[in-house]
Amino acid sequence: MVAALRTTRWRLRVRGLVQGVGFRPHVYRLARALDLAGSVRNTADGATIEVEGGAESLAAFHRRLLAELPPVARIDTVAVDSMPAAGVSGFRIEPSQGGKRPEACVLPDLATCPACLAELFDPADRRYRYPFINCTHCGPRLSIISGLPYDRANTTMAGFRMCADCAREYADPADRRFHAQPNACPECGPQLAFLDAGGRSVAAREAALAEAVARLAAGDIVAVKGLGGFHLMADAGGGAAVERLRRRKHRPRKPLAVMAADLPMAEAVCRVSPDEAALLCSPQAPIVLLARRGGGLPEALAPGNPNLGVMLAYTPLHHLLLKALGRPLVATSGNLSDEPICAEETEAVARLAGIADGFLVHDRPIQRPVDDSVVQIAAGRPMLLRGGRGYAPLGLTRPEPGSPGVAVGAFLKDTVAVATRAHWVLGPHIGDLDSVKARDAFRRTLADLEALYGVVPRWVARDRHPDYPSSTAAEALGPPAILVQHHHAHVAAVMAEHGLHGEVLGVAWDGVGLGDDGAPWGGEFLRATRAGYRRVAAVRPFSMPGGDRAAREPWRCAAGLRFAAGLEPLDARGREAAGAAAATLVRMLERGVNSPVTTSVGRLFDAVASLLGLCHRSSFEGEAAMALQFQAERAGAGHGAYRFPLQAGERVAVLDWEPGLAALLADREAGAGVPVMAARFHGGLADALAAVARSEGLPRVVLGGGCFQNRHLLRLAVERLGRDGVHAFWPAQVPANDGGIALGQLAVACAQNAQGVDHVSGGAG
Ligand code: ZN
Ligand code: ZN
Ligand code: FE
């Protein structure tokens, strides 16, 4: 070969998500294709490439490096230095630089890639129908990592010795499976087994798969061990199987997710927009909320709900199952009611006894349970509702380096987060902390994140509520606690996600969180920075007779709202809903016993849902508010809005619901349609939100809290703010609900630390 006339050497320092995603083989193939000499190696925060050759080849290398990235890799920055050529030949992949712990190296589990899928169904391929096929672009990561660095010995694949063929692929830089840590084949890798309801193994390999397919086709419920845990699966089209699953799982109405083999199967039962199709087919392969088609799957999958949570098969095992069945399957987390997902056979057989008729299992251990993520398109963009597989842990760059710490979240839908010196990492969905299992998972997840990211916390951020299990756990950890107000955390989470600094108007609408005055807040307007806030307006308070029970029994909220308006707490409908509890309730309200006064928009939704006869008792969180949202969406546009005027208050302005309530009751009296009344209620809240924004005059408004998962409310609010020239920010990658609180707590704690607020007195600085 003729040496180029003028060779130059470039050093490219790449930062981003470039480890464990097939980045080095990509660089290797590209350099070879362009006849460039040099090397690539992983570093603590990315990769360093040295290439030498002609100027044109180097420019082409730089261009194609970015343009032809492997599917999951992400480049944040490339710094290029030019230097004299060293006259080397050949291109090498060098061993990782040891020493410093890489911060950005924990990768999520990824759905089977198209290349592996093609091999799975190719009779000529040596991995034909092998349920554990994977490569550097797909397969398990987080769920099998037992330690760092990410090498096979530090995964649950350590016990499987690669055969000669697999070892050759693993060692060949030109192969798609170069350094694919879970690489395996039918000769050397994990295998399937089928266990009967009592946990006895009755079939193995292909026979195990065939048994599961036969059982599912016959209407049985089968617990299937997947990537990050067990699913309970059943024929989604079989009404009887779905009813049985609901009965056995004690889950009367909460929606059940469905798994489809591919996009056409999903499109046969739901309407799928291009954005939704992109989400379904992404390597993250989340559950996506889709509008169901009439005449599709049984109503019982999501009673009264026009949407259905659908995901596509994301492991080779799922592909084999669904291809054999040819129709969608219910795929709900293998757990009891709201407990964390099961990840291990013995535990699954014990805990799911009485629910599952059989178990399809395999011998690749799951190091940490990972639940499916849930996403919807809201106001034109993806919005994460539950962070798990593919999305968590979510890493963000910390605005200024500082001392490491942790945040423990709140109570419902809890997550935890850790701050390294340079990053924030939000962990996966854990669940409501009201079960022993969930509290165990909370402790495990926190310890796990600390270990993975090498965090030894100097401080612990927690909710102001002293009685949350997360708060008591935080106090027991040792380092000084930083108390963060719940709604400030909601606002700060959105600020952190969108990189906002300075002052914003924060609108935090949720169920309840403890306010500075000791009352349960939930309809808050805060002039907020990351470090602090001033409450400028809130929803007019009303009673929640029965306290926490009011959250599960919307009829109580309706009574509290009417009482606060000076009306009889229970009208004829209210008395019917209350039943035997009616007399006690009225006494409670009149004497102010066990009737905390709240500003919660979530409870306001509950009250209105009950007043409209949609839901008096909810079987899962958010049921009543969702029913109201679906009615409003049915109504379409052009129905006007109830009036929720802004009144001057003593210290904070008050968003008064009374005129709106009066109009709603008059509408109801006049026989107006429920969808129209629901639409007017939503419109009124969006108008009121925009009115507060106008009166505060800040150019940026942040929307946070579980109420903004309501995509009808979100869209109306964003439209109204947009018309006023206000820039609205809302959650996308971080849950709007309390699943985002931990990140907000980190953001507040770090901002306060950076401003020198002395939380860490006694610490060594
Ligand atoms: Zn693959
Ligand atoms: Zn092999
Ligand atoms: Fe909240």
Instruction: Flag whether pLDDT at 101 surpasses 80.
Output: no
The answer to whether residues 557 and 650 belong to one domain is yes
CA dist., res. 394 & res. 496, Å (int): 12
CA dist., res. 631 & res. 341, Å (int): 32
Measured in Å, residue 104 CA sits from the centre of ligand 2 at 29
DSSP letter, residue 108:
P
The answer to whether residues 709 and 748 belong to one domain is no
Measured in Å, residue 134 CA sits from the centre of ligand 1 at 5
Measured in Å, residue 741 CA sits from the centre of ligand 3 at 7
pLDDT band of residue 756 (cuts 50, 70, 90) is confident
CA dist., res. 228 & res. 362, Å (int): 12
CA dist., res. 27 & res. 597, Å (int): 61
Phi, psi of 86 (to 5 degrees): -100, -5
Number of domains the chain contains: 4
Question: Residue 322 is which amino acid?
Answer: L
Q: If you write DSSP's letter for every residue of 430-479 in order, what string do you get?
A: -B-TTSHHHHHHHHHHHHHHHHHHT---S-EEEES-TTSHHHHHHHHHSS
Strands 287-292 and 270-271 turn out to be: antiparallel
Return contacts of 443-450, CB within 8 angstroms, 24+ apart. Answer: 443/473, 444/368, 445/416, 446/406, 446/408, 446/416, 446/418, 448/368, 449/393, 449/406, 449/416, 449/417, 449/418, 449/425, 450/406, 450/418
Ligand closest to 520 (CA) is 3
Give the tens place of pLDDT for each residue, 164-185: 999 999 999 888 998 899 999 9
Alpha helix (H) residue ranges in 173-273: 205-217, 239-249, 263-269
pLDDT band of residue 443 (cuts 50, 70, 90) is very high
Give the tens place of pLDDT for each residue, 691-719: 999 999 999 999 999 999 999 999 999 99
Structure tokens at 447: 């310890």
Ligand closest to 165 (CA) is 2
CATH number for the domain harbouring residue 78: 3.30.70.100
| 646-661: average pLDDT | 95
Q: Which residues contact 42 (CB under 8 A, 6 or more apart)?
A: 18, 19, 24, 96, 97, 102
Give the tens place of pLDDT for each residue, 448-477: 999 989 999 999 999 999 999 999 999 999
Residue where a domain terminates, one of 342, 374, 406: 374
CA dist., res. 67 & res. 704, Å (int): 35
Q: What is the mean pLDDT of the chain?
A: 93
Ligand closest to 185 (CA) is 2
pLDDT at 174: 83
Contact of 372 with 255, CB cutoff 8 Å: no
Measured in Å, residue 364 CA sits from the centre of ligand 2 at 14
Measured in Å, residue 160 CA sits from the centre of ligand 2 at 9
| Residue 638 forms part of a structural domain | yes
Q: Which pTM value belongs to this model?
A: 0.93
CATH number for the domain harbouring residue 764: 3.30.420.360
Give the tens place of pLDDT for each residue, 331-367: 999 877 667 777 788 888 999 989 999 999 999 999 9
Instruction: Flag whether pLDDT at 762 surpasses 50.
Output: no
| Residue 165 forms part of a structural domain | no
Contact of 392 with 285, CB cutoff 8 Å: no
Instruction: Flag whether pLDDT at 235 surpasses 90.
Output: yes
Instruction: Flag whether pLDDT at 258 surpasses 60.
Output: yes
Residue where a domain terminates, one of 93, 114, 143: 93
Give the tens place of pLDDT for each residue, 501-545: 999 999 999 999 999 999 999 999 999 999 999 999 999 999 999
Give the per-residue SS3 of 7-21.
Answer: CEEEEEEEEEECCCC
Measured in Å, residue 490 CA sits from the centre of ligand 3 at 7
Residue where a domain terminates, one of 59, 77, 93: 93
pLDDT at 1: 43
Contact of 101 with 454, CB cutoff 8 Å: yes
Measured in Å, residue 489 CA sits from the centre of ligand 3 at 9
Burial class of residue 444, CB neighbours in 10 A (0-12, 13-18, 19+) = middle
| Residue 147 forms part of a structural domain | no
| Residue 143 forms part of a structural domain | no
SS3 content of the chain, % helix, strand, coil (to 5): 35, 20, 40
Helix (H) or strand (E) holding 582: helix 582-591
Of 42-56, 425-439, 731-745, least confident by mean pLDDT is 42-56
Question: Residue 245 is which amino acid?
Answer: L
Q: Comparing C-alpha atoms, which of 217, 199, 472, 508 is closest to residue 359?
A: 199
Measured in Å, residue 326 CA sits from the centre of ligand 3 at 41
Measured in Å, residue 657 CA sits from the centre of ligand 1 at 55
Give the tens place of pLDDT for each residue, 79-92: 999 998 888 889 99
The answer to whether residues 648 and 524 belong to one domain is yes
Measured in Å, residue 223 CA sits from the centre of ligand 2 at 27
CA dist., res. 759 & res. 482, Å (int): 6
Exposure string of 506-519, with b = 16+ CB inside 10 Å and e = fewer, is: bbbbbbbbbbeeeb
The answer to whether residues 316 and 413 belong to one domain is no
Instruction: Flag whether pLDDT at 325 surpasses 50.
Output: yes
CA angle 614/620/626 to nearest 5° reads 45
CA dist., res. 188 & res. 166, Å (int): 8
| Residue 409 forms part of a structural domain | yes
CATH number for the domain harbouring residue 722: 3.30.420.40
The answer to whether residues 457 and 568 belong to one domain is no
Q: Comparing C-alpha atoms, which of 125, 107, 124, 108 is closest to residue 116?
A: 125
The answer to whether residues 547 and 693 belong to one domain is yes
Measured in Å, residue 396 CA sits from the centre of ligand 3 at 21
| Residue 152 forms part of a structural domain | no
Give the per-residue SS3 of 475-535.
Answer: HHHCCCEEEECHHHHHHHHHHHHHCCCCCEEEEEEEEEEECCCCCEEEEEEEEECCCCEEE
Distances (CA, A) of 87 to 4, 7, 32, 462, 492: 11, 8, 16, 57, 53
CA dist., res. 260 & res. 267, Å (int): 9
| Residue 686 forms part of a structural domain | yes
CA dist., res. 233 & res. 12, Å (int): 48
Contact of 378 with 711, CB cutoff 8 Å: yes
CATH number for the domain harbouring residue 333: 3.90.870.30
Ligand closest to 510 (CA) is 3
The answer to whether residues 669 and 741 belong to one domain is no
Measured in Å, residue 494 CA sits from the centre of ligand 2 at 46
pLDDT band of residue 374 (cuts 50, 70, 90) is very high
The answer to whether residues 726 and 750 belong to one domain is no
Measured in Å, residue 541 CA sits from the centre of ligand 3 at 17
Ligand closest to 162 (CA) is 2
Summary count for the chain: helices (H), strands (E)? 23, 32
| Residue 629 forms part of a structural domain | yes
Sign of CA dihedral 664, 666, 669, 671: negative
Structure tokens at 299: 């109503």
Ligand closest to 484 (CA) is 3
Instruction: Flag whether pLDDT at 552 surpasses 50.
Output: yes
CA dist., res. 264 & res. 281, Å (int): 11
The torsion of the CA quartet 426, 430, 436, 439, rounded to 10 degrees, works out to: 0
The answer to whether residues 78 and 224 belong to one domain is no
Distances (CA, A) of 652 to 428, 535, 560: 36, 7, 22
Give the tens place of pLDDT for each residue, 281-299: 999 999 999 999 988 899 9
Ligand closest to 134 (CA) is 1
pLDDT at 339: 73
Measured in Å, residue 107 CA sits from the centre of ligand 3 at 28
Range of the domain at 20: 2-93
Helix (H/G/I), strand (E/B), else coil: 307: strand
CA dist., res. 232 & res. 209, Å (int): 15
Contact of 623 with 551, CB cutoff 8 Å: no
Structure tokens at 338: 């709201």
pLDDT at 104: 52
The torsion of the CA quartet 592, 595, 600, 601, rounded to 10 degrees, works out to: -90
The answer to whether residues 597 and 697 belong to one domain is yes
Q: Comparing C-alpha atoms, which of 431, 497, 412 is closest to residue 738?
A: 412
Structure tokens at 341: 């997902």
The answer to whether residues 739 and 756 belong to one domain is yes
Q: Comparing C-alpha atoms, which of 34, 33, 14 is closest to residue 174?
A: 33
pLDDT at 150: 78
**Percent of the chain scored above 70 by pLDDT?**
97
Measured in Å, residue 321 CA sits from the centre of ligand 1 at 18
**Percent of the chain scored above 90 by pLDDT?**
83
| 426-437: average pLDDT | 93
Measured in Å, residue 445 CA sits from the centre of ligand 1 at 28
The answer to whether residues 749 and 697 belong to one domain is no
Exposure string of 407-420, with b = 16+ CB inside 10 Å and e = fewer, is: bbbbbbbbbbbbbb
CA dist., res. 62 & res. 384, Å (int): 33
Of 36-45, 53-62, 627-636, 752-761, least confident by mean pLDDT is 752-761
